[in-house]
Amino acid sequence: GAGVSQTPSNKVTEKGKYVELRCDPISGHTALYWYRQSLGQGPEFLIYFQGTGAADDSGLPNDRFFAVRPEGSVSTLKIQRTERGDSAVYLCASSARTSGNTGELFFGEGSRLTVL
Amino acid sequence: RKEVEQDPGPFNVPEGATVAFNCTYSNSASQSFFWYRQDCRKEPKLLMSVYSSGNEDGRFTAQLNRASQYISLLIRDSKLSDSATYLCVVNTGSSASKIIFGSGTRLSIRP
């Protein structure tokens, strides 16, 4: 389909392991966002890309979290030394707007991460 | 203080009722505002943008009060299908940048 695609849809890992979550945005969308959502909470901002560069990474909780978007399309969120508190749904969204009003965010279905 | 605050609810109202949600934001430089809807175990989807003059889309009315940094959503003649979580969303920058979601207000419509 033409929507935002996230893989894997579910990931179960052990504490201390490394995890990569992938996001394939809508073709042509220059803005890409990562959020994480815990049960009963709203999406928590992690990082925003405009093109290849991280325009705002102020939401990344600590240095175990890192995200890249090397060619301005697909993005990977990387989590090192996972902890049980990292368990959440990680949502990716893309948008066509680059300035002014942000326009609509289109979300993927999310990657559910469970750290045992 | 959270950047975007909402009453978490839950609101449980009968079909046909009118219900209103409120939201406040802390950054006075915020430029654009939205309401998103999220169904259980689904991704958020845009419900409507919120304009300074207020705007209406069918049974839904959104209002913005910049002086009080307050946003509202009114749903008239509520339907069973309106049951969902409603997320208040604020763009805290002057361009496409940091977009912050509130924690959401749960709405349940009963027959």
Q: Decide: A59 and A36 in contact? Cβ < 8 Å.
A: no
pLDDT of residue A24: 98
pLDDT of residue B98: 84
Distance CA A105, CA B96 (A): 10
pLDDT tops 80 at residue A40: yes
CA distance A24 to chain B (A): 15
Binning pLDDT at 50, 70 and 90, where does residue A100 land? very low
Phi, psi of B17, rounded to the nearest 5 degrees: -75, 165
Who among A40, A45, A104 is closest to B100 (CB)? A45
From the first residue on, what is the mean pLDDT of each consecutive set of 10 residues in chain B (111 residues)? 88 96 92 94 94 92 95 97 96 75 96 95
* Mutation target vs A (from B4, B27, B30, B43; most A CBs, 10 A cutoff): B43
With an 8 Å Cβ cutoff, are A109 and B101 in contact? no
pLDDT tops 70 at residue A114: yes
pLDDT of residue A55: 85
Q: Decide: B81 and B72 in contact? Cβ < 8 Å.
A: no
| Identity of the amino acid at B38 | Q
With an 8 Å Cβ cutoff, are B101 and A50 in contact? no
Q: If you average pLDDT over residues A44-62, what whole number do you get?
A: 92
